Amino acid sequence: MRIAMFVIGLALALGGIWVLAGKGTYKDTETAAKLGGLEIKTTTEKPVPAPVGYGLIAVGGVLLLAGALKKN
């Protein structure tokens, strides 16, 4: 359990750093125009918002500390 918390915390913290570095993106599809049954859709890649990265780092840090300080 201790090692699992440490590894998960490390993965979350690294993911948060990745997001804050601007590397994390997601695809968003929007309808640009609609005429009857015909739709024109656009797909763009948007960056993951910075607060998500801060949250990942915070949760990862808590899990890292809990994993490091937990006694068997």
pLDDT (0 to 100) of residue 9 = 93
Range of the domain at 45: 2-69
Q: Mean pLDDT throughout 53-58?
A: 96
Band of residue 26 on the pLDDT scale cut at 50, 70, 90: very high
- pLDDT above 80 for 72: no
* Phi, then psi, of 22 in degrees rounded to 5: 90, 10
Structurally, how many domains does the chain consist of?
Answer: 1
